Structure 1
Amino acid sequence: MTAVDDRPMTTDIVKFFENFEFPEEFKVELLRGEIVMMAGPDVAHNDIVEAVVDQIPRRRWRRLQTQDIAILEETSEPQPDLVVLERGVGPGHGRLMPSEVITLLLEVVSKTSVDRDYGVKRSIYAAAKVPGYLIIDPIMAQCVLLTEPTGHGEDADYRCQRITKFGDLAPLEPIGIELDTSEFATYEKVRPHRYP
């Protein structure tokens, strides 16, 4: 039995989520027992993900877009915008990537995902002990790198936080690169928020 199969099924929600056929035009995630559906992303969002993928060396890193994640001890199956893990690590097939093999997760904030990306996903990814969580925020024109996960469950968080404004180089220590953010676009006519 794999680590993915060892997740506790404390409720039927995980089975329901894994067996239900959701409409293809929606991104669907299971976050702490809640099913979250979102419409497709903004073009600026996709351009940012593409720009990041282009900068992560393929020889050393697997760069998986919209890969579902399995997290032990969580009723969560998030689908980050980008999953980065060492080449040669993790399964080569299947829907779920075990969180314990992941080096960096990336979420690009959308107009409706601010609270989830900065709040619940921050806690979920820290609880999963993912070494790096990068939030790219086209609303506030900033990148937030979170490292050193600590704690368990809803109390989990990251000890270190580094904020880089768009246009500057963003150090991504977990994968050993500096990310050029100069091409990252911002959303138009969106109200600023209070995070991080």
Structure 2
Amino acid sequence: MTAVDDRLITDVREIFENLEVPEGFKAELLRGDIVMMAGLGLVHNMIVESVQDQIPRDRWRRLQVQDLDIPDELSEPVPDLVVIERDAVPGAGRLVPSGVVAMVVEVVSKNSVDRDYGDKRSIYAAGKVPAYLIIDPMAEQCLLLTEPTGQGEEADYLLERTSKFGMPLSLDILGIKLDTSEFGTLPPVKRHRRP
């Protein structure tokens, strides 16, 4: 006979905070679900490095895999890159409040497509993150989302701008034009349902 523990989990945040994540993996809390991903590939890491290197360090903090605190959401996403004004960084701690974030960046993988284009889009919009940049090496394009509106799962961005790799992308919020010409690509996978 198999024993089943049918006790209700009442504090998923506590479980998440005490979770022992194996080396080489990262874990996120997305709307009450704990999502674990294996290590990231070379193309992914080189794209993140390229974006980070183009954001002026004297004005911006460019933090890789930083946990965010989204008010009124049971979510603690871990974007590939978080951009914060140098003077706006809060004190110590694991979580950075989404209210101080200027932009988040996610680089899409075949396993993160729906989360990056769907769940995280509404989570970051609900957290009022002013700019969300999705870089998709399979579709060879960037999608810049701005002007967050709404709450919860209904939150979204009012403006979106798509740019193919090789074309510069204006990131007005940071005062730069992002050079995408060196972004690596990955073999296309079955086209996802997202833009």
Decide: shared fold, TM above 0.5: yes
Given that residues 145 and 163 in structure 1 are in contact (C-alpha distance below 8 angstroms), is that contact kept between their aligned partners in structure 2? yes
Given that residues 145 and 160 in structure 2 are in contact (C-alpha distance below 8 angstroms), is that contact kept between their aligned partners in structure 1? yes
Given that residues 64 and 82 in structure 2 are in contact (C-alpha distance below 8 angstroms), is that contact kept between their aligned partners in structure 1? yes
Query: Where do residues 102-141 of structure 1 align in structure 2 (5 Å cutoff)?
Result: 102-141=101-140
Number of residue pairs matched? 187
Whole-Å separation in 1 of the counterparts to 2:152 and 2:85 = 26
Question: How well do the aligned residues superpose, as a CA RMSD in angstroms?
Answer: 1.3
Other-structure match for 1:145: 144
Whole-Å separation in 1 of the counterparts to 2:192 and 2:20 = 34
Whole-Å separation in 2 of the counterparts to 1:112 and 1:25 = 16
Other-structure match for 2:50: 51
User: For structure 1, which runs of at least 5 residues remain unmatched after alignment?
Assistant: 1-9
Query: Where do residues 1-196 of structure 1 align in structure 2 (5 Å cutoff)?
Result: 11-188=10-187, 190-196=189-195
Q: In 2 relative to 1, CA 152–189 (structure 1 residues): closer, same or farther, beyond 3 Å? A: closer
Give secondary structure in 2 for the equivalent of 1:103: strand
Whole-Å separation in 2 of the counterparts to 1:22 and 1:40 = 12
- The offset of 1:88, in angstroms, is 1.6
User: For structure 2, which runs of at least 5 residues remain unmatched after alignment?
Assistant: 1-8
- State the TM-score, normalized to the length of structure 2: 0.93
Query: Which one-letter code corresponds to 2:34 in the other structure?
Result: I
Higher gyration radius (CA): 2
Whole-Å separation in 1 of the counterparts to 2:88 and 2:105 = 18
Query: Which one-letter code corresponds to 2:169 in the other structure?
Result: A
